[in-house]
Amino acid sequence: MYSKKEMRKAYIARLQQLDLNTRLKEEQALASRLYDQPEWFGAKVIGITLSQSFEINTAPIILHARHKGQTVVVPRTLPERKMEFVVLTESTEFSETQFGVLEPVKGEVLGPDDIDLMVVPGVAFTLSGNRLGFGGGYYDRYLSNYDGPKFAMALNTQIAEENEWPTDTFDIPMDKVINLQDAINK
Ligand SMILES: Nc1nc2c(c(=O)[nH]1)N(C=O)[C@@H](CNc1ccc(C(=O)N[C@@H](CCC(=O)O)C(=O)O)cc1)CN2
Ligand SMILES: Nc1ncnc2c1ncn2[C@@H]1O[C@H](COP(=O)(O)OP(=O)(O)OP(=O)(O)O)[C@@H](O)[C@H]1O
């Protein structure tokens, strides 16, 4: 078994090397699987990130949701590795964080109980729902107070075997890892 840190590095390198055609095809197929989920089309409020370059591109997903009239909330990081979710509107202003992602500067904050579905980012996932994130612990902290459905989306290159990295007690498993290798699991 490798450390989380070693695995994170390896999977980020794989993501950065993925060729654009494969990536675009897989991203489109994953998005349409997401839209088929009852938890997705039943959700009034969806929590999702503004992706950075090597993550699954969330822009089309956000546009799709907003087009359907769903409310989209995106994270803003806070001190002590906490975060809150802010409603995205046409007038949302953004600033770039040290991590390299855009965050809303201000806006309406919704609490965890107001969010109907969380689409959780990550570097690698097992089909059983284990997740390796970027190492900030932001999502593990936030999701410990969130009771709704938690979905991740995994490109083929992001799918890991069980036991590639150690699981910590604070790791929060995903309810579904949307992927292109098997039918929707769990
Ligand atoms: N697009 C996107 N937005 C997201 C996340 C994500 O995974 N993807 N996050 C998911 O959690 C949160 C931000 N996650 C972060 C994870 C790690 C560090 C971090 O380790 N920062 C280092 C400095 C940067 C570095 O070492 O490269 C630090 O604070 O010391 C910062 C933010 C919220 N927004
Ligand atoms: N619920 C929690 N309460 C307190 N500390 C936590 C909690 N969850 C995670 N942490 C801390 O966060 C650090 C990073 O955890 P880990 O490496 O699992 O992050 P990650 O899941 O990859 O990141 P992220 O959730 O931001 O995507 C750990 O060292 C741990 O101490």
pLDDT 10s digits, 76-107: 999 999 999 999 999 999 999 999 999 999 99
Who lines ligand 1 at CB under 6 A? 49-52, 55, 75, 77, 83, 98-99, 101, 121, 133-136, 138-139
For residue 42, count CB atoms less than 10 angstroms from its CB and return exposed for 0-12, middle for 13-18, buried for 19 or more.
Answer: exposed
pLDDT at 186 over 50: no
Q: Is the pLDDT at 13 greater than 90, yes or no? A: yes
Question: Residue 183's pLDDT band (boundaries 50, 70, 90)?
Answer: low
Domains of the chain listed by start with CATH number: 4-185 (3.40.50.10420)
pLDDT for position 184: 57
For residue 34, count CB atoms less than 10 angstroms from its CB and return exposed for 0-12, middle for 13-18, buried for 19 or more: buried
Helical (H) or strand (E) element with 47: strand 45-47
Question: According to the model, what pLDDT value does residue 182 have?
Answer: 82
Q: Which residues contact 55 (CB under 8 A, 6 or more apart)?
A: 15, 49, 121
Output the residue whose Cα is nearest ligand 2's atom 4: 141
Mutation probe of ligand 2 site: the residue of 170, 171, 172, 174 with most atoms within 8 A of C-beta: 170
- Which protein residue's CA is at the shortest distance from atom 6 of ligand 1? 121
Given a cut of 50, whether residue 155 has pLDDT beyond it is yes
Mean of pLDDT over the chain: 96
Rounded Cα distance between 3 and 111, Å, is 33
Asked if the model's pLDDT at residue 122 lies above 50, the reply is yes
Does pTM top 0.80 for this prediction? Answer: yes
Helices marked H in 36-126? 38-41, 59-67
Which of 86, 134, 170 has most ligand 1 atoms within 8 Å of CB, for mutation?
Answer: 134
Please give the number of the atom of ligand 1 that sits closest to the Cα of 121: 7
| Strand order through the sheet with 176-178 | 109-110, 82-87, 71-78, 45-47, 117-119, 150-153, 176-178
